[in-house]
Amino acid sequence: MNAHYAGTPPPADWRERLAARLGQRPRRIGVWAELALYGARRCLDAAGLDVLPAGALLRAASLRGPMQATREAVEQGKSGLPMPFTFLQSQPCQALATLSVALGWQGDARFIACRDRELLLRMAEREAERHGVLYGWIEEGAKPSTEWWWIGAA
Amino acid sequence: MKDAYIAGSGLASALGSDLPAAIEALREGGVAPRRFELPSGNAWPYHAIDDDCADWSARAERIVRRVAAESGALSMRDGPLFVASSSVDIGARELDRRFEHDMLAFADGVQHWLDWRGPVYSVCTACTSSMVALFSAADCVRAGLCESALVLGVELRNALSVGGFGAMQLLSQRPARPLGAARDGLVLGEAVAALHVSREPAPWRFAGGANVTDGRDPAGIVPDAVEAACRGALASSGVVPGAIDLVKLQAAGSPSGDANELCALERIFDPLPSLTTLKSALGHTLGASGAAEIALLVACIDAGVWPDAGHPLDRSLGARLVARTPERLRHALVNILGFGGGHTACVLEASPR
């Protein structure tokens, strides 16, 4: 079945809900990756899936990405070296790594963004034909959002 | 399903402003890395493009325009453009402190520089960025959605990448020694590379590829995932391991990373095919490395010029690097691995001449 979760915005206590769902607080990941994890988990739960099925694709997109961690890492770099975890959190791919572990899955994950969201969604749908795709759009900041689609195999 | 070919390529790197210059530099033994000094005073070797213009954006525009033109892709600007980078334009943000731009602003700028009319995508999966972009571009061409696409791998000077890798203690203080007995870390570099992907037959066909994310080691290489990526690339190409004549390794000079990659390859190949690595020549160009190393690999094959390792290899790895083009070279496996759990591999097939 297909499923959609629109945390636009997510509930105020989304971090507590995520920790409750996972049984622990995610460690050493930034807010952007945590938002991604919350939305992806909610979407898979809506689809009745505990793990992301083998062979499925994972696609994440964002306009601003992990900007908070990026700014922090740049600021830290002015006077010394950035903190390793801050630097890691500035990379969108760290969210993909986090999702891979949390969703019990190894496979084709991409961060790919485009101003035309419909185009990106159509690309994901086309790629989903064989095994399905979990596709999400995540924004942190004053108006956080995490919106995800599970599009099952055709 | 249609075929996708590498119709043209372009590269600006520490080896030179274009591919002929890079080949000439390799003939002469390569170019020694410079030093990249951070505001904090920390410094590491760095393979810099020989262009000291202080205006980050003007420099980026000049280099991107030249490299895209070298690939031949600008004759058709209606297909998709994939701008792939790990650091995007953070080098400019470090200078102007204007963080209000979103992540697509740089891709918008590239679109404007190239007067590109087709859709523009921004791909950011750290070291595998331009390889993943190549897969997406090839998917579009093979699905018949477009006649051609352009992949641009862009990794230009910035303190965040150097400082971040330095903070994680992944960098060497000496020139990179991929597979070397005394390897002790990576040496970063900058590059802009273009791959013009087209359905028009060309000397190299993109036969297939695989992208495997495995987050068990978010800053390193997972052997199971390397094996899965290589086997996936072979399967999607319809090629058996024995048909691979050359492997372009990731081999960035990391003590554990190089060993893990070889360990995975030994599970697939017996014996190992001919091997090469380009990182002692280019440095690790992060998100640009996929496009940069494919562009340089094809140029090396065409010219019969290969980088000299220049250091003693780790005999325990059992790897031998090619010094000349293998006698039979129909299929090449290209590995790009890295950071963030990304593991990619693709197969390039030489068209019959």
Asked if B42 is an interface residue toward chain A (Cβ–Cβ < 8 A), one would say yes
Window 13-52 of A: residues touching B by CB (8 A cutoff) are none
What residues contact B55, with CB distance under 8 A and at least 6 apart?
Answer: none
Closest CA to B267 of B214, B212, B230: B230
Model ipTM value: 0.96
Same domain, B174 and B228: no
The mean pLDDT of B311-327, rounded to a whole number, is 92
Same domain, B193 and B65: yes
Q: Please tell me the distance from the alpha carbon of residue A127 to that of residue B109, in angstroms, as a whole number.
A: 28
The mean pLDDT of B274-291, rounded to a whole number, is 97
pLDDT band per the 50, 70, 90 thresholds, residue B222: very high
| pLDDT value of residue A127 | 84
Angstrom CA distances, B248 to A59, A128, B48, B179, B318, stand at 27, 30, 22, 13, 16
The mean pLDDT of B101-125, rounded to a whole number, is 97
| pLDDT value of residue B353 | 67
- Residue carrying the six token digits 């690939």: B71
Q: How many structural domains are present in chain B?
A: 2
Same domain, B87 and B235: no
> Residue B295: which region, alpha, beta or left (left: phi > 0; alpha: psi -120 to 50)?
alpha
| pLDDT value of residue A124 | 87
Torsion sign over Cα B231, B232, B233, B238: positive
Angstrom CA distances, A30 to A36, B84, B102, B144, B155, stand at 10, 22, 18, 39, 23
pLDDT at A51 over 90: yes
The CATH code of domain A3-151 reads 3.40.47.10
- The model's pLDDT over B60-100, given as tens digits with 9 standing for 90+, comes to 999 999 999 999 999 999 999 999 999 999 999 999 988 88
Best of B98, B124, B346 to substitute, by most chain A Cβ atoms within 10 angstroms, is: B124
Same domain, B78 and B191: yes
DSSP state of B321: B
The mean pLDDT of B101-126, rounded to a whole number, is 97
- The model's pLDDT over B334-348, given as tens digits with 9 standing for 90+, comes to 999 987 799 999 999
Angstrom CA distances, A9 to A41, A111, A112, A116, stand at 15, 21, 22, 21
The mean pLDDT of A111-136, rounded to a whole number, is 91
- Domain residue spans of chain A: 3-151
Q: Which residue of B has its CA nearest to A71?
A: B99
- The model's pLDDT over B205-218, given as tens digits with 9 standing for 90+, comes to 999 999 999 998 87
Q: Please tell me the distance from the alpha carbon of residue B190 to that of residue B195, in angstroms, as a whole number.
A: 17
| pLDDT value of residue A43 | 98
Same domain, B169 and B217: no
pLDDT at B123 over 90: yes
User: Helix, strand or coil for residue B242?
Assistant: helix
Same domain, B219 and B124: no
- Pair B103, B122: CB distance under 8 Å: yes
Q: Which residues form the domain of B16?
A: 4-198
Q: How far is CA B271 from the centre of its chain?
A: 26
Q: Structure tokens of A142?
A: 């004053």
CATH of the domain at B170: 3.40.47.10
Q: Which residue of A has its CA nearest to B41?
A: A80
Same domain, B142 and B218: no
Closest CA to A28 of B85, B218, B74, B342: B218
pLDDT at B276 over 70: yes
Same domain, B103 and B238: no
Same domain, B179 and B117: yes
Question: At which of B170, B198, B226 does a domain end?
Answer: B198
Question: At which of B165, B198, B231 does a domain end?
Answer: B198
Same domain, B8 and B147: yes
Mean of pLDDT over chain B: 96
| pLDDT value of residue A129 | 80
Closest CA to B301 of B205, B206, B233, B203: B203
Same domain, B159 and B261: no
Asked if A123 is an interface residue toward chain B (Cβ–Cβ < 8 A), one would say yes
| pLDDT value of residue B320 | 87
Question: At which of B162, B183, B198 does a domain end?
Answer: B198
Asked if B124 is an interface residue toward chain A (Cβ–Cβ < 8 A), one would say yes
pLDDT at A125 over 90: no
What residues contact A142, with CB distance under 8 A and at least 6 apart?
Answer: none
Cβ–Cβ below 8 Å for B93 and A74? yes
Chain A positions in Cβ-Cβ contact with residue B39 (cut-off 8 Å): 77-79
Same domain, B128 and B85: yes
